[in-house]
């Protein structure tokens, strides 16, 4: 029997956010995420789970005066140009436009309203990527 809940990987990102409901809508629109589970109590968002490109991401509302979690995510996608454009259209800010890199990837980066960085990438040269 596996020690992980179904669909979870061994390491699962968890974001603590201001306005997690708005983040869920951003993630659905910009990142192609789907809502997996949400638990609320007394009008407060307690815990949520999204499925994003085959992985589970967890999130919760900030308790009290705790600082928000900010992170960076490198997401392999089939179409980095399309992912980048969807994120910009959903309100993200460009970190850098989609570009081919010498290390064998095509990628572009954005920052969401919560300060997280998202790098959308596809391997374009497996020989360079492998080292």
Q: What is the pLDDT of residue 109?
A: 97
**Residue 102: its pLDDT value, please?**
92
Task: Retrieve residue 48's tokens.
Answer: 């949520």
Strands of the sheet containing 93-100, edge to edge, are 72-76, 117-123, 105-111, 93-100
Architecture category of domain 14-130 in CATH: Roll (3.10)
What mean pLDDT comes out for the span 107-114? 96
pLDDT at residue 131 is higher than 70 = no
Lowest mean pLDDT across 1-10, 32-41, 93-102: 1-10
- Secondary structure, 3-state, 63-79: CCCCCCCCCEEEEECCC
Domain boundaries, the chain: 14-130
pTM of the predicted protein model: 0.87
> What is the rounded distance in angstroms from the CA atom of residue 65 to the CA atom of residue 40?
19
- Residue 37: which of 18, 55, 57, 53 has the closest Cα? 57
Q: Let me know: does 29 contact 83? Beta carbons within 8 Å.
A: no
Number of residues that make up the chain: 131
Q: Are 104 and 80 in contact (CB under 8 A)?
A: no
| pLDDT tens readout for residues 58-103 | 999 887 778 888 999 999 999 999 999 999 999 999 999 999 999 9
The token pair at 19 is 């306005």
The tokens 């954005």 sit on which residue? Answer: 110
């Amino acid at each position: 029997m596996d020690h992980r809940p179904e669909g979870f990987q061994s390491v699962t990102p968890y974001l603590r956010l201001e306005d997690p409901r708005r983040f869920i809508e951003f993630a659905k629109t910009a990142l192609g995420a789907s809502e997996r589970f949400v638990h609320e109590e007394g009008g407060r968002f307690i815990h949520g789970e999204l499925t994003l490109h085959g992985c589970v991401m967890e999130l919760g509302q900030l308790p009290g005066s705790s600082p928000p979690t900010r992170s960076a995510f490198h997401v392999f996608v089939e179409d980095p140009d399309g992912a980048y454009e969807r994120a910009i259209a959903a309100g993200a800010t460009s970190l850098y436009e989609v570009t081919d890199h010498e290390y064998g990837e095509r990628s572009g980066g954005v920052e969401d309203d919560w300060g997280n960085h998202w790098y959308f990438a596809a391997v374009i040269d497996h020989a360079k990527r492998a080292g």
